[in-house]
Amino acid sequence: MKTLNKLSIGFLSILFFATSAFAGNPDRQGEAGAAELLLNPWAGSAGIHTMNTSSISGLEAMRLNIAGLSRIEGSELVFANTRLYEGSTLKLNALGYATRVGKSSAFGISLMSVDFGDIARTTTSNPEGDGGTFSPSFFNIGLGYSYTYENKISVGLLVRGVSESLPNVSAFGFAIDAGVQYVTGENDNFKLGISLRNVGSPMKFGGEGLSFQGDNPEGTAQYLLTYDQRAENFELPSVLNIGMSYDFIITDKMTFRTLTNFTSNAFSRDQLGAGAEFMYNDMITIRGGYKADLGASGDAVQNVYSGLSGGVSVLLPFSAGGSSKIGIDYGYRATNPFRGSHNFSVRLLF
């Protein structure tokens, strides 16, 4: 018990110092790169605007709060597809696997790519297109580990590789996520969580696409020289999430969860939101939420994801009395601009 109390005090200290040291800065909006690190491909958490920092568990925790990974019961395999910003041609594809390791820890791996579709290739001499197409390749892979102590405190750490490339230019970098969850109450119905994401070294583009040929600037001989242009470094979009939730146990089969979440963005406005989930018999979950920018007014640049969100999950066993299950999740998030994003996930639990 003394050890648990020390961990609790340590968690609250981290919460206090992280809140004091990390603050949003709207003046830096648009200065970070690798914005795909802020996108959530998993439908379950997307349906509540990715605000369940305190209660998220299993594989989806690798995109929000890695500490929740160790609250998985067995193994989980998830496939996901997102119609990103309805009205555009962008899509997200994701695949992840997580499994329990021993009694109190879990390991997971997740992959996500952005599908830009085929983009017409244009040049200075053919501004209307030369008949060819290209498609950028944005890809990242994450490896995460989480440990739970006496079902009260969970901690986790994740390392993610980030790759962005065109046919003749590319950039690569690493990002680190860390998170903590604290559970208490007579029925473990109060939860508190904090996660710090996308902390890493700056990225920089390089490759033949940044080179060009020009005339020899000196001498009488006329010949071409190849000049290399230096690209500027760009930082990763670091973000801090602090959330809490409370479960109201209605019956043995019905639970109503309320939650709130504060998001501090290093390169955009901070956000505050709240949501709720209704769970029936571990089979059906209905969720919804609302998120708003703090301090936004008039012509201020706002975050894309704000406003309403909603979703539903269905979890069914493969056979009567069997432990293996299949889950189907759907999530919708309002966006500004465009007509929202639609997330679909299929989960296999075994």
pLDDT tens across 113-123, in order?
999 998 888 88
- Reported as half-sphere exposure (CB side, CA atoms, 13 A), residue 198 has a value of 26
Say which residue, 341 or 223, is predicted with more confidence: 341
Q: State which amino acid sits at residue 289.
A: G
SS3 255: strand
Phi, psi (degrees; rounded to nearest 5) at 45: -75, -25
What residues does 329 pair with on adjacent strands?
313, 345
User: 155 is written with which tokens?
Assistant: 């901690």
Other C-beta atoms lying within 10 Å of the C-beta of residue 265: 24
The pLDDT score that the predictor gives to residue 90 is 93
Q: State which amino acid sits at residue 135.
A: S
Q: What is the mean pLDDT of residues 167-178?
A: 94
Say which residue, 95 or 267, is predicted with more confidence: 95
Whether the pLDDT of residue 337 is over 70: the answer is yes
Pairing of strands 91-101, 75-83: antiparallel
Sign of CA dihedral 135, 40, 309, 14: negative
Domain definitions of the chain by residue range: 2-349
pLDDT tens across 114-155, in order?
999 988 888 888 888 888 898 999 999 999 999 999 889 999
Pairing of strands 325-335, 105-115: unpaired
For the entire predicted model, the pTM comes to: 0.88
Say which residue, 79 or 220, is predicted with more confidence: 79
Which CATH number, 2.120.10.30, 2.40.160.40, 1.10.3720.10, 3.55.50.30, labels domain 2-349? 2.40.160.40
d(CA 30, CA 50): 21
Check: CB of residue 49 under 8 Å from CB of residue 163. no
User: ω before 317 within 30° of 0 (cis)?
Assistant: no
The pLDDT score that the predictor gives to residue 290 is 97
Q: Which of 65-79, 160-174, 309-323 has the lowest mean pLDDT?
A: 309-323
The pLDDT score that the predictor gives to residue 21 is 46
Check: CB of residue 76 under 8 Å from CB of residue 58. yes
pLDDT tens across 221-275, in order?
778 888 888 889 999 999 999 999 999 999 999 999 999 999 999 888 899 999 9
